[in-house]
Structure 1
Amino acid sequence: MFDRHAGGESAVLVHIDFRHDLSQDKNQEDLSEFVELVRSAGLKVLDIVTAKRGSPDPKYFIGSGKIDEIISIKNATDAELIIFNHSLSPAQERNIEKEVKARVINRIGLILDIFAQRAFTFEGKLQVELAQLKHLSTRLVRGWTHLERQKGGIGMRGPGETQLETDRRLLRDRIKYIERRLDKVGKQREQGRRSRKRANIKTISIVGYTNAGKSTLFNLATDSDVLAEDKLFATLDPTLRRLSLPQGTDVILADTVGFIRHLPHDLVAAFRATLEESVEANVLLHVIDAASDRREENIEEVLKVLTQIGADKIPMLQVFNKIDAIEGAEPRIDRDDTGKPIRVWVSALKDIGMGLLQDAIEELAMDEQLIADLKIPPSEGRLRGYLYELSAIEEEAYSEHGDLLLKVQLPKADWVRLERKLDKDLSGYILNSD
């Protein structure tokens, strides 16, 4: 690649505010999350450069005056990295590096580095490498000093492929190889999910904004020892454990990677196999830091990602965690107009309200069932096949006109997934339901 400066452990941070309609407090909160990301990567923050702009500068993203300020700070502190809390184009990264004579990383590169540090399993490492390669493939643009086609002359003639083309081809080959390996892992996970469905064991997937306390809650509920730290993205690799609920119901509880604002699309795509634990779950536990000043915004960001991966229709229970940090907050279950649990207030760290949470989980897991009589035309044999795969058919008969009459019982989440898979509304096939 072009002669990039080496990385290091000390950094100057750059945060630009393009949102003049928001208060300074909210801007500072966004900046504090950026600082927490940097510290989660194990870096030392030397200084922070902030500015306000109406729009990014095409060449440097920031103005030339701020470039001079960064150069001055870099020279005074011997900073090894300049980290932007934004997405930079490859050309902008290169232009800034040429000016400041230090390595420049944007927000996506920072998150990828944290993920690389947190990946411990074979699957996790593959997923991180895939995301890194997809990100790197966008950086191979006019960034090389040896891109001229191989010149003529003795010892210089070749196939005519530039170094850039060679590297792109090698990247594509490696990406395809990793995607094949991850597809194999995904099929193995799918076999496990099918076994659980045949045994009628439901899966409860924990989702939420990073550092909301998901792993602490998971450890307390399942008596496990998953890494739980006060860091962003402390958990990367998914973990599944059996949980016995108060009335004797056994479920599988899955701890998954946390979400964050502007989560890179390549990361979402690369972690498809992991996120499928959420997509295929019967119930989602949306763990929320109840004491956070940005609680509502964090909820919105999580819902965006759930919509992106196709998990937005799955029954959800909100878990407002960390109530020990809220004065006067008491553990309780909030219910909707029908009496169904929609929200539980707990503190996983202090073990407050966990019994209420288990009661709510059991109530949802048992209640979210579709028990119905179906009338399916002969042309919809594929639907019958899917219902058999889900072990949902209890009785089967045929009408005098050849229609298939089925009595089925399956989780409502599975019914929603069937509609998505077949890309059609199946409610017209329901004669009656409980």
Structure 2
Amino acid sequence: MSLSNLSILNVSGNKFSGSMPIGIGNLQQLSVLNLSKNGFSGTIPSSIGTLYKLTVVDLSGQNFSGEIPFDLAGLPNLQVIALQQNKLSGNVPEGFSSLLGMQYLNLSSNSLSGHIPSTFGFLTSLVVLSLSNNHINGSIPPDLANCSALEDLDLHSNSLSGQIPADLGRLSLLSVLDLGRNNLTGEVPIDISNCSSLTSLVLDLNHLSGNIPESLSRLSNLTVLDLSTNNFSGEIPANLTMLSSLVSFNVSNNNLVGQTPVMLGSRFNNSLDYAGNQGLCGEPLERCETSGNGGNKLIMFIAVAASGALLLLSCCCLYTYNLLRWRRKLKEKAAGEKKHSPARASSRTSGGRGSGENGGPKLVMFNNKITLVETIEATREFDEEHVLSRTHYGVVYKAFYNDGMVLSIRRLSDGSK
């Protein structure tokens, strides 16, 4: 029985095993080849490259090994290539970039290596590109932004490095962007917020840093946001609460600080989604020490310090006031003595001898303008701190008078003069 006119061969979901029949290459009218979810093994025969009418090749979920046949790149009508979940190795075929009608390319869950060809930017009809769970390295080509029809870009679980290209923000139809579990660095480009159709943004397990862009709040269709296990810092933007469609949110294991936005914390109340951020507090984590953010602690410290300084200044002013008041009283007392003791003042002779009243101590001076009371004040009542010397004839004190004059005063040992 001849099958030369067969256009669709679909034996998916069976238990076929062994090598793929080479005779399939004789089915020149074949447009759909679906052998998925069987147990075929060995290499993919290059004879498939002769089936020029093929639009769909689905060999997923098998045990195929070896490299992807280069001949597949010569099938001009191919729209779907599904080779995921096999054991294929080698580089991602750059020749696929010549398949300008390609809409679906899934090479995930294999052992592919090398770089992502920048020439994939020519695939302007590509809707789904999945290269996840491989060993692909290098950077993400900015040229992928030329795939204007792209809706699903899945590159997670590879060894990609470098920064996320800001050009990806030009993919207005992009719905799923999964770059998790790679070695990406730098900040999240603000341009990603221009992908207005984005429903899932997964960037976990990378080395991304900087603040979480507040502009992500513009992604009104976003349902999944996973930024966990990176080096993000700063606070969680409060305006992320505007993402009303969000059903999954994870920022765990970063360097975030401050209080979780109240409404966001109440919607996503699993503490594991915030864990691993030592500076983060608030629902559903431990209650913050203050009702505000971390800046309130600094404000509180400044307020306490200012209050202490004001109290110290008040004490100094009060002490100075009392000291001046005491000095004024002494001056008034001295002035009163001058006014009410004319006898003592008139008894001073040119020799400078003055007698005390009622047989009290006498003051012998070379200046007839100084009283005994003023001298007692000038020496702080003959305080020890004013002692200049001690002799057989008495103790010499240093006296500081209110008019600025400084004299040395000898107090005789008998205390009479």
- With the length of structure 2 as denominator, give the TM-score of the two structures: 0.22
Larger helix proportion, structure 1 or 2? 1
- With the length of structure 1 as denominator, give the TM-score of the two structures: 0.22
Higher relative contact order (CA 8 A, sep 6+): 1
Larger radius of gyration: 2
